[in-house]
């Protein structure tokens, strides 16, 4: 995206339109020309904040009372205030304030557009009946352009102003139909008429009111931007940007303003240097954070997702205290910093055990709301499910509650269901100390595996001791290069090399048997034979496992880190058009090698064998304890009888 010279949209100009905006909200008549009415009109006799009352009946014999309500009446203030019990709620006041402010901004933007083009002069000529016939076509084209500019500015400002007030409620309103381009006033009336219809249909309470307004704004922006592509007269607006300083809003052509979409995070972020050990997990998390930033808000797609190297779901497992929480804090911190620089919205949310509810269906609803919040294509998002073995129950496990079973079903459908769409704007991390207790099918929906094994080497333990002691001491460091072992490229290369051979005993036997029969695994046929041998040893190693492995290999083919300067200076990469970003990423890709494939097969299969071995050992230990208890009970029983 080219650098824009941002101009100021004067506050005085905006406030001068407050009265007009309030008039539009108070009431006007509109007969729909494209859309079809689905909701009844608001009765004119109903005053703001006052409940409906019986219609007046004349006391004069022979005179019938006449209603002042008109068939096309649009009274948004009454519509919104009528949702409550007679008193205006804070959310309703917020909605009305945002609507008035957005309308005033849109009208001021329309004035600015007219002054910057020939439209202002043509309007004056038309009012004075001196518009030349040869200019009528230009006049009509500029009026239509002004209508599109005003509509998009209204929707853009409304979405921006309401973003901090959005909850987890989501409303689907479909396509906005009443988009009129005769002139700006008629365009706003058509849009507000349809908004009134949507509020009547979907805005049953305050949460759904705000969600309806936001959904309408997003849908209107999408529709208007599409119309503007075939309207050349909108070019001056599309190529410029204006700043509304009081709101922190930038109207950059037909590009949605997204900065206010994400809620501020209060978590304690960690820097990569504060994550000791866990080299592969840290490396992949750092790369994934930058991958997410490549998401294109206009195309609603990430080039990495198109190229097949994007991690939509991953599983992080390890013993307690090995750094899973620190890894989450590091990745969330990186994303928060990158999004702050780029002006992108960022969302982080953790789904925890307290969202498992005793009421039937509520746990599933909570899980669905969590998924919907994270996958919203209007934001960069990171969702985590910590201790997933406690949250999502194994199917068929009698110890799992109905709520846990509901959550498992929702996550399975969301992560790899028939309707799953991976846009590349979000990722989900599942973390567990006991991944063997996670449902097999759900665990296999994790496209990548992050082994979070904490500090391993002597250098790691020195580094973590120094880090945690802080600076309030005078203890000498000694013969050690502090944090040199955490140098990411060197540490990751060594970690990947270790997976040239399997680590788990069960997989080692399979690997040695296959390589003894066929030699080095250097062809696709030999690699396929190795995969089949693994499947014969563990029948849970299915086609989904092969897909996860190939996805991991594709990620390795993108074994590069997007330059830090691309995150620091968004114009270099983040603000480039989608096709340009795709081309820039292709230039950095490396060919897939045999070593990559072998290492990723071993990494994934090691994790499956590790889970299976743990699961079997836990089950055996439990049976041994039960047998021991039975024997001891029998001994005590016989001793008591004697």
483, pLDDT greater than 80? no
pLDDT tier, 2 (very low <50, low <70, confident <90, very high otherwise): very low
**Residue 180 CB-half CA count within 13 A:** 20
The Cα 182–Cα 489 span in angstroms is 60
pLDDT in tens, 19-41: 999 999 999 999 888 878 776 55
Nearest Cα neighbor of 607 from 487, 453, 417, 488 is 453
By three-state DSSP, how is residue 559 classified? coil
For 22, the 3-state DSSP assignment is helix
Query: Phi/psi class of residue 321: alpha, beta or left (left: φ > 0; alpha: ψ in -120 to 50)?
Result: left
pLDDT exceeds cutoff 60 at 518: yes
pLDDT at 502 over 50: yes
Cα–Cα distance, 172 to 239 (Å, whole number):
31
Residue whose C-alpha is closest to residue 372's, from 223, 203, 217, 171: 171
pLDDT tens-digit series, residues 586-612: 888 888 889 889 988 888 888 777 766
Domain 272-619 matching CATH 3.10.105.10: the answer reads: no
Which residue in the block uniquely carries the two structure tokens 């998390």?
285
Report percent pLDDT > 90 for the chain: 30
Average pLDDT of the segment spanning 573-580: 90
pLDDT interval class at 492 (50, 70, 90)? low
Crossing angle, helix 90-116 and helix 119-127, to 10 degrees? 90
Number of Cβ within a 10 Å radius of residue 32? 15
CA 503 to CA 607: how far, in whole Å? Answer: 9
Residues of the chain with CATH 3.40.50.300: 272-619
pLDDT at 546 over 50: yes
Structure tokens at 557: 């083919």
Q: How does pLDDT run across 420-460, given as a tens digit for each residue?
A: 889 999 999 998 888 778 888 888 888 777 777 777 778 87
Q: Is the pLDDT of residue 292 over 90?
A: yes
pTM greater than 0.75? no
Q: Dihedral (C-alpha) 107, 112, 115, 120: value to the nearest 10 degrees? A: -10
8 Å CB contact between 224 and 179? yes
The pLDDT value given to residue 433: 81
The stretches of 229-315 forming alpha helices (DSSP H) are 235-238, 279-293, 303-307
Q: What is the pLDDT of residues 206-253, one digit of tens each?
A: 888 999 999 899 899 989 998 998 899 999 998 888 999 898 888 988
Q: Indicate whether 127 pLDDT > 50.
A: yes
Check residue 400 and give its pLDDT: 80
Confidence of residue 494 (pLDDT cuts 50, 70, 90): low
> What are the structure tokens assigned to 148, written together?
């599109």
Edge to edge, the sheet with strand 346-350 lists 346-350, 380-386, 426-432, 313-317, 448-451
Residues 158, 161, 162, 166, Cα dihedral to 10°: 140
- The whole-chain average pLDDT of the chain stands at 82
Q: What is the DSSP string of 211-251?
A: HHHHHHHHHHHHHHHHHHTT-GGGHHHHT-EEEETTTTEEE
- CB neighbour class for 311 (10 Å; exposed up to 12, middle 13-18, buried from 19): buried
Q: What pLDDT band is residue 476 in, cutting at 50, 70 and 90?
A: confident
Q: Would you place residue 265 in the very low, low, confident or very high pLDDT band (cuts 50, 70, 90)?
A: low
Please count the residues of the chain. Answer: 642
Provide mean pLDDT across the span 528-555: 84
């Amino acid at each position: 995206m080219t650098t824009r010279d941002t101009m100021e949209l004067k506050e005085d100009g905006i406030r001068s339109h407050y009265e007009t905006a309030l008039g539009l909200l108070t009431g006007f008549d509109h007969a729909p020309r494209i859309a079809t009415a689905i909701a009844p009109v608001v009765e004119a006799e109903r005053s703001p904040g006052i409940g409906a009352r019986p219609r007046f009946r004349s006391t004069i014999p022979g005179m019938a009372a006449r209603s002042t309500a008109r068939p096309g009446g649009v009274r948004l203030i009454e519509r919104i205030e009528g949702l409550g019990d007679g008193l205006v709620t804070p959310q309703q006041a917020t909605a009305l304030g945002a609507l008035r402010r957005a309308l005033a901004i849109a009208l001021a933007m329309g004035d600015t557009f007219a002054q910057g083009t020939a439209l202002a002069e043509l309007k004056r000529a038309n009012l004075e009946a001196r518009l030349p016939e040869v200019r009528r076509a230009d006049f009509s084209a500029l009026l239509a352009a002004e209508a599109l500019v005003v509509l998009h500015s209204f929707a853009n400002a409304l979405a921006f102003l309401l973003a901090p007030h959005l909850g987890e409620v989501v409303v689907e309103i479909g396509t906005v139909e009443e988009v009129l381009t005769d002139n700006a006033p008629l365009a706003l009336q058509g849009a507000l008429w349809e908004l009134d219809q949507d509020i009547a249909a979907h805005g049953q309470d305050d949460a759904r009111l705000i969600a309806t307004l936001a959904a309408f704004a997003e849908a209107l922006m999408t529709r208007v931007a599409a119309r503007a592509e075939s309207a050349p007269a909108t070019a001056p607006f599309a190529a410029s940007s204006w700043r509304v300083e009081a709101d922190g809003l930038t109207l950059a052509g037909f590009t949605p303003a997204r900065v206010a979409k994400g809620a501020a995070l209060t978590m304690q972020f960690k820097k990569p240097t504060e994550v000791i050990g866990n080299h592969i997990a840290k490396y992949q998390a750092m790369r994934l954070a930058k991958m997410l930033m490549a998401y294109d808000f206009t195309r609603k797609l990430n080039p990495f997702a198109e190229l097949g190297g994007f991690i939509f779901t991953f599983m992080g497992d390890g013993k307690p205290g090995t750094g899973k929480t620190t890894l989450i804090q590091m990745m969330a911190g990186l994303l928060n910093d990158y999004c702050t620089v780029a002006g992108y919205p960022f969302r982080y949310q953790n789904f925890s055990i307290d969202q498992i509810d005793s009421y039937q269906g509520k746990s599933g609803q909570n899980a669905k709301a969590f998924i919907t919040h994270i996958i919203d294509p209007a934001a960069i998002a990171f969702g985590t499910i910590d201790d997933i073995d406690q949250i999502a129950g194994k199917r068929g496990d009698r110890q799992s509650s109905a709520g846990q079973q509901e959550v498992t079903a929702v996550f399975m459908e969301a992560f790899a269901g028939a309707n799953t769409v991976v846009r590349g704007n979000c990722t989900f991390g599942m973390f567990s100390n006991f991944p063997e207790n996670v449902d097999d099918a759900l665990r296999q929906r994790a496209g990548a595996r992050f082994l979070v094994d904490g500090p391993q080497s002597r250098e790691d333990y020195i580094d973590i001791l120094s880090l945690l002691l802080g600076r309030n001491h005078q203890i000498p460091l000694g013969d050690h290069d502090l944090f040199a072992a955490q140098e990411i490229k060197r540490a990751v290369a060594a970690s990947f090399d270790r997976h040239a051979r399997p680590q788990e005993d069960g997989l080692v036997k399979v690997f040695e048997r296959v390589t003894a029969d066929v030699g080095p695994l250097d062809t696709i046929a030999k690699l396929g034979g190795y995969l089949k041998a693994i499947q014969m040893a563990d029948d849970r190693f299915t086609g989904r496992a092969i897909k996860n492995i190939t996805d991991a290999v594709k990620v390795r083919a993108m074994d590069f880190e997007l330059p830090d300067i691309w995150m620091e200076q968004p114009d270099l990469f983040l603000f480039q058009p989608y096709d340009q970003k795709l081309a820039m990423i292709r230039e950095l890709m490396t060919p897939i090698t045999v070593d990559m494939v072998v290492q990723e097969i071993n990494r994934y299969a090691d994790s499956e064998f590790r889970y299976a071995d743990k699961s079997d050992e836990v089950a055996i230990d439990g049976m041994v304890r039960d047998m021991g208890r039975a024997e001891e009970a029998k001994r005590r029983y016989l001793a008591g009888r004697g």
